[in-house]
Chains A and B, each alone.
Chain A
């Protein structure tokens, strides 16, 4: 029998945890629950979960603070944040602080299951996730997430702010099918008219600037009718001294 992945679900709303835990259990995970930050940190050192789901707004210690504590201790257990604020800046910061993904409430519980599976698939035990990296590299493409600069084959390229957010997300979630809706949420913070081609326009912009041929891409692949995928291999680049 396969070993079940252990999930620690942290939210101060018991109505949410008592209903969500069974859903995750039915999806094949072993679920433990905590109702606030300090309890969560205790349980992390105790049960060593494979993934944490943290609600951002909690009394005493909120999700982001728990995340900071963990990362400061060198604990790279994957974390999915449940954000409640619609602020895209906050979300971008959350990713920079070391969260692997986030989901806006209210969400479809099945979407959470899908994200958990994707994060676990990407996780490299003991090693920091791509989202922790300051500089990410794929072939000749280098993105510095702190200074927000992108270099292709040593030459700096300029991108609009939204295209940059999009590239950053693609590179921190490589080899994962990302639907247009999800990418819209990342770039925009909400699902801007669902059928819109806003994402397609930004992808075209990225392809143009990266010199990526849509028909034989090195970086971004179109999954017909579903979304996009970053197919290049991404790794964290050691910072230059």
Chain B
């Protein structure tokens, strides 16, 4: 319940009612007949209790309505954001397409070294824009497509993502470790979209490799505590400064330390979106110059609802 302090009012009212009632019951007002005094006292007491009770009920109802309104506003805001991203993506496509076609034409014309270099640089930037456009599309589509729910073997999924990361060129210079518990029992099988969960872990590992230097450690671990499956990707890389931490999951946001490293700031937004659709949470903790850990919490029991 948000803000419990308004309950003070009805409680205060109750106390006042009780005090007044007691005063009436006792002989504080001598000029009134005893019977009247008692009746008055009862009236005040009952009146006070009813008013306080009504107040409390109204508070609870109001609070529930408030929560519902807040949820609705949040949902509408997310919806609007999705629509904006789709519109943006739509508007970007045609100009980028025209540019790529124009560049393909220029390729056919024999040019000098200076032109060749300029052309190749323009092509690289266009490709970057093109990727951004398709990543935006991915993100907006992801929030709408139905999830393919199957029983996901977390062990197998993590191992595959981990092995794929190990095969990446930069990974050779980092220390990679995967810890999956076998005792007292292996990780539970959860209901989810296996490919999307794989994408999440892959993205996090990709980030870990990007934002670490040779010699740093990257650790992947998972465990369950009965009701929740927890997966973590941690690294000893450059970390995220405090002032940037709250923004880090936002679309297209890239911290200062990301300059010069390829990427478009959509990876974590994608991760958050997928985990949220699985009814879970994404928590990012980091210390600048020490490292970062991204924790994914997913409910184990199938009572939770998939947002579809």
Contact = CB atoms under 8 A, between A and B. Distances in A.
A98 B258 CA distance: 46
B148 A160 contact: yes
A226 interface: no
Nearest to A191: B134
Contacts of B148: 160-162
Interface in A150-196: 160-162, 188-193, 195-196
B108 interface: yes
B2 interface: no
A193 B165 CA distance: 11
A28 interface: no
B56 interface: no
Chain B interface residue bracket vs A: 20 to 34
Interface in A9-60: 13, 15-16, 19-20, 22-23, 26
A109 B104 contact: yes
B85 to A, nearest CB: 11
Interface stretch (A70-78, A80-88, A117-125, A209-217): A80-88
A197 interface: yes
Interface stretch (B29-37, B67-75, B87-95): B87-95
Contacts of B100: 106-109
A84 B140 contact: no
Interface string A86-124: 111000000000000000111111100000000000000
B195 interface: yes
Contact of A104 (B134, B150, B202, B203): B134
A197 B160 contact: yes
B93 A86 contact: no
Contacts of A192: 195, 199
Contact of B105 (A23, A84, A195): A23
Interface of A: 13, 15-16, 19-20, 22-23, 26, 84, 86-88, 104-110, 160-162, 188-193, 195-198
Interface of B: 89-90, 93-98, 100-102, 104-105, 108, 130, 133-134, 137-138, 140-141, 145, 148, 150, 160, 164, 167-168, 195, 198-199, 202-203, 206
